[in-house]
Amino acid sequence: MSQSTANHTVIRQAAQWLALWHSGSMTDADMLRLADWRAAKPEHEHAWRQAELLAQKLTHIPPQLGMPVLDRAISRRDFIKPLALLLVTMPTGMLAYRYAPWREWAADYRTATGERRELVLADGSRVMLNTASAINVVFTDQQRELRLLAGEILIQTAPDPHPVHRPFIVQTAEGRLRALGTHFNVRQQDAWTQLAVLEGAVEATPAAAKQHASVITAGRQSSLTEHEVHAATNLDEKRTAWADGILYVDKMRLDEFVAELGRYRPGVLRCEADVAHLEVSGVFQLNDTDRILAALQNTLPVQLHWRTRYWVTVAYRA
């Protein structure tokens, strides 16, 4: 059996176990069998945890997969089909890059939804991981490389202690970012990379157009696709406030605000179309998303509909 086939088999097994778990018909014997299965191999436990996570975050996947799972009473059979399809048969391209489960499960470092984590690398560089982020760290005699698999990171590079200087590289789905003695922020989006440079400079090189590299200097920000580096603009200094657990917004559309807040909150957070245009301004503490949602009701003509603790809709207040 190939490694790919083995991985898919484990993922399908995890989906089936999760379906049984949520079916309400799990027996004591089933619980013991599940415990044995999870303990049998590390990849079983990884698969189980990721299946649980994806079941909570179906707001981020195609509606035709997610809605049948969470929008009605379901049977075990109903649950397995969309979840197994999601876990095993993701399309190619960026969606596969972002959701390929083994990349993130096996990442050197990762954070859960709502978690932030600071790392000190072997060369003394510091990396802060934002919510739901994952990176691999690959240091060789030739270069220092971070591979951003998901989410967002804030990097403060340190002088290389190696006898021969090694460039500091961040690799994303869209290309390569080379630090030029710098402090910078990188966020992986659906089909593009966001770059914000606080100090020094960063050379950005698109994966499919390496001749179009651009240097983004301190106080500037840009975005990167596989084919181009967009023109730099002035840096929004509050862009990296997430590292301190703070979200600053100024006249942000409500639907955009809800999407941003949803990054820090497990489950489904939705905004109805008839209130999407409303604007939000303020300073919000990300460690209490319930409080932020409550504040919306106090400042805007909206109300919250709580289907469950993990399924909230922001709607017009009649």
pLDDT tens-digit series, residues 157-171: 999 999 999 999 999
Identify the CA nearest to 142 among candidates 124, 119, 160, 159. 160
pLDDT at 61: 40
Low-confidence ranges of the chain (pLDDT < 50): 58-81, 89-100
Quickly name the fold that domain 245-316 has: Phage tail protein beta-alpha-beta fold (3.55.50)
The two three-digit tokens of residue 230, written as one number = 């967009």
Residues 14 and 83 sit within 8 Å (Cβ to Cβ): no
Q: Do the beta carbons of residue 174 and residue 192 sit within 8 Å? A: yes
Question: Could you give the count of Cα atoms lying within 13 Å of 141 in the half-sphere of its Cβ?
Answer: 1
Neighbours of 278 (CB within 10 A): 19
In the prediction, which pLDDT does 73 show?
A: 40
What's the confidence (pLDDT) of residue 95? 39
What pLDDT score was predicted for residue 274?
Answer: 95
CATH 3.55.50.30 domain extents, the chain: 245-316
CB 270 within 8 A of CB 314: yes
Q: Which fold has domain 109-238?
A: Jelly Rolls (2.60.120)
The pLDDT tens digits of the residues spanning 85-98 come to 555 544 433 334 44
**Mean pLDDT of all residues belonging to the chain:** 83
Per-residue model confidence (pLDDT) at position 308: 84
What pLDDT is stored for residue 54 in this prediction? 61
Rg (CA), the chain: 21
Which residue spans of the chain are classified as CATH 2.60.120.1440? 109-238
